[in-house]
Amino acid sequence: MIAALLLAFPSLNPAQTSSLEFERVIEAYSVPNSSLLAESISSDGKASGVAFNWTVGVVLSAWVAAARVDTTLRPGLIRYANAVEVYWNPKGPVPGYDVLPGPKPVDRYYDDNAWMAMALVETFELTKEPRFLDRAEKALIYALSGEDAKLGGGIYWRESDKASKNTCSNAPVAAACLAVAKHRDGKKLRAKAREIYDWTRANLRDPSDGLYWDSIDLTGKIEKTKWSYNSALMLRTARELRLPEANDLAKACYRRWVDPESQVIRDEGRFAHLLFENLLPYQRVLGFDPVKSLASIPVGSDGWYGKRWDRLDSAKNQELIDQVSYLRAKYVLRGQ
């Protein structure tokens, strides 16, 4: 049934949207007898596992973007946002969202909570239901608890393995501070966002191109892999702080990751959708064509998107995060 549904509704113009696109993903990945979603589905359509919390954050953000342009999706968004509270782990020293639903031993990530904070702020802004803002604030409190004075500041990646401080934790936490600051404790959180941004820029920015490395360990050794979403979240933060360096960072991101002919972002979708979204304010300056960019992403004969946006990778299992990353980008484009 799912395969037939997918083939009956091939990808539309990326500037257009249909609730059917979103609903078919939710149907395909639904966990039986639950309001939760699966992490992946096999080639025969069987759901496998419960989504990790990182995926949940992307699902929420995609659902909000979709519900902004199609109000019929709002009730489902509220149900899902309530359902994923099972990921909240109340154990100390600071409660936070866990990688999987409890009850279970603690395994929390500071970046996961930053993604949740941003998605829950957006959920609050759309629904006007204060409980979602409360949850966003609590997730941010947890994320900020990952900071200490080693290396002069910065936020760790994982609570149980404080071996490195990563751009993928610091940049989203800075952005989450600014998201919550729109509604609560604005002056203090904006200052905190700037502090985290400045630490990340000082420690993890490659001066040769202005882009951001992956992480720094406690000995000061830098892991120099560059992921598009790390620079994208630093771009988002710089723009929201109204820092003039944002323009140069946008140009550097475009040069590194956007194919000049197809306009597609050359990275995995789970990272690329964040760069796509944060390049939109600069599309005229850069010559970035977002409609062409999304239209250039290959899709399989079964209707599913693969891991990467610049080529179609064959896989036994199709991951939920890859589908909702594309939908987040498409609905954000439609709603701008």
Per-residue model confidence (pLDDT) at position 125? 98
CA distance 76 to 194: 35
Torsion sign, CA atoms 246, 251, 256, 257: positive
pLDDT > 90 fraction of the chain, expressed in percent and rounded: 87
Q: What is the pLDDT of residues 232-244, one digit of tens each?
A: 999 999 999 999 9
Domains (ranges, CATH) in the chain?
2-335 (1.50.10.20)
**What's the mean pLDDT in 220-233?**
98
Per-residue model confidence (pLDDT) at position 262? 98
Q: Is the per-residue pLDDT at 315 higher than 90? A: no
Per-residue model confidence (pLDDT) at position 58? 98
**What's the mean pLDDT in 19-45?**
92
CA distance 294 to 262: 9
For 10-44, letters b (16+ CB in 10 Å) and e give: eeeebeebeeebbbbbbebbebeeeebbbbbbeee
Q: Is the per-residue pLDDT at 248 higher than 80? A: yes
Per-residue model confidence (pLDDT) at position 12? 43
Q: Is the per-residue pLDDT at 2 higher than 90? A: no
DSSP assignment of 110-142: HHHHHHHHHHHHHHHHHH--HHHHHHHHHHHHH
**What's the mean pLDDT in 49-72?**
97
**What's the mean pLDDT in 239-250?**
98
